[in-house]
């Protein structure tokens, strides 16, 4: 585990809530799971640092995507335990970030810039696309879902996580008024560790997210419960497939 990641984790430790379970990490296969606090953010792999969200997503990728070793994969981030996992298990991997001041398709310091609403990849470029906590921040998520569908090959899979609320319908937190984005609900932000800043939450997804994926063209879309415990903090994951 990198030192900076370890230092961040140490700040979350609550001594009376510490726990250790014999359970393999879905991201790196280390045999133990660590609980630093009784919260989703407090569950980590002691070796690679994968969070409960990352381990949930990795578990679904490894259990639901066939012939992973032959997959050309695209992950919508440039680093972290999920990237390391995909590099180990997939035939090839492309990663990216949305970079300020960099045109999509160009690189800065070796990092590829992409805007999920307008990807620069050719049609049918990948067998697998993944993202972790991205689409709740995308202004036009319908365009983003269509772009993922476009760059997937027939039969390809889209596996991703978003904060998923126990409600039937998605609630938009932002809307359009006289040609500009306005708050429909009080502004909410998530940490953006890559930029060292915060990023605006555009919506709170409900179970109708599967209908949004179907509208983008996916033949199958469902919410999957990962086959791992994670001290009760395993996160539901979205799994969508383009028709073969």
* Dist. CA 224–CA 236, nearest whole Å: 6
Residue-level pLDDT at 101: 95
**Amino acid 153: pLDDT:** 99
Domain 3-241: CATH architecture, name and number where available: 3-Layer(aba) Sandwich (3.40)
State whether residue 221 is helix, strand or coil. strand
Q: What is the pLDDT of residue 195?
A: 63
> Do the bridges between strand 197-200 and strand 189-192 make them parallel or antiparallel, or are there none, so unpaired?
antiparallel
pLDDT recorded at residue 47? 94
Q: What is the pLDDT of residues 152-190, one digit of tens each?
A: 999 999 999 999 999 999 999 999 988 899 999 999 999
Residue pair 93/71 in contact (Cβ under 8 Å)? The answer is no
- pLDDT for residue 197: 76
What pLDDT was estimated at residue 231?
93
According to the model, what pLDDT value does residue 1 have?
Answer: 47
Kindly give the parts of the chain with pLDDT less than 50: 1
Three-state DSSP at 22 gives strand
Identify the sign of the CA torsion 163, 167, 168, 170. negative
8 Å CB contact between 12 and 41? yes
How high is the pLDDT of residue 205? 99
Q: What is the domain partition of the chain in residue ranges?
A: 3-241
Write out pLDDT tens, residues 35-66.
Answer: 988 888 889 999 999 999 999 999 999 999 99
Enumerate residues 6+ apart whose C-beta is below 8 A from 86.
61, 73, 75, 93, 128, 130
pTM: 0.92
The pLDDT score that the predictor gives to residue 200 is 94
pLDDT reported for residue 2: 53
* Predicted pLDDT of residue 12: 65
**Interstrand relation of 19-22 and 32-35 (parallel, antiparallel or unpaired):** antiparallel
| 3-state secondary structure at position 67 | coil
In this predicted structure, what is the pLDDT of residue 187? 92
What does the DSSP assignment read for 128-187?
EEEEES-GGG-TTHHHHHHHHHHHEEEEEEEEEE--B-SSSS-EESEEEETTEEEESS--
């Amino acid at each position: 585990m990198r030192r900076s990641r370890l230092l961040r984790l140490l700040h979350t430790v609550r001594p009376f809530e510490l726990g250790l379970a014999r359970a393999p990490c879905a991201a790196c296969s280390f045999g133990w799971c660590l609980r630093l606090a009784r919260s989703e953010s407090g569950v980590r792999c002691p070796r690679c640092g994968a969070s409960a969200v990352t381990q949930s997503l990795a578990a679904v990728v490894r259990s639901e995507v066939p012939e992973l070793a032959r997959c050309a994969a695209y992950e919508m981030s440039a680093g972290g335990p999920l990237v390391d996992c995909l590099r180990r298990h997939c035939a090839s991997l492309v990663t990216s970030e949305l970079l300020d001041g960099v045109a999509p398709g160009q690189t800065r310091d070796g990092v590829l810039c992409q805007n999920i609403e307008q990807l620069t990849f050719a049609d049918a470029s990948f067998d697998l696309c993944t993202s972790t906590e991205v689409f709740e921040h995308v202004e036009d998520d319908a365009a983003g879902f269509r772009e993922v569908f476009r760059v997937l090959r027939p039969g390809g899979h889209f596996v991703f996580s978003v904060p998923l609320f126990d409600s039937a319908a998605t609630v938009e937190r932002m809307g359009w008024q006289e040609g500009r984005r306005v708050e429909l609900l009080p502004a909410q932000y998530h940490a953006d560790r890559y930029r060292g800043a915060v990023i605006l939450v555009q919506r709170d997804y409900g179970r109708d997210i599967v209908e949004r994926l179907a509208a983008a063209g996916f033949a199958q879309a469902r919410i999957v419960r990962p086959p791992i415990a994670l001290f009760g903090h395993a996160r539901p994951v979205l799994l969508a497939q383009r028709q073969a």
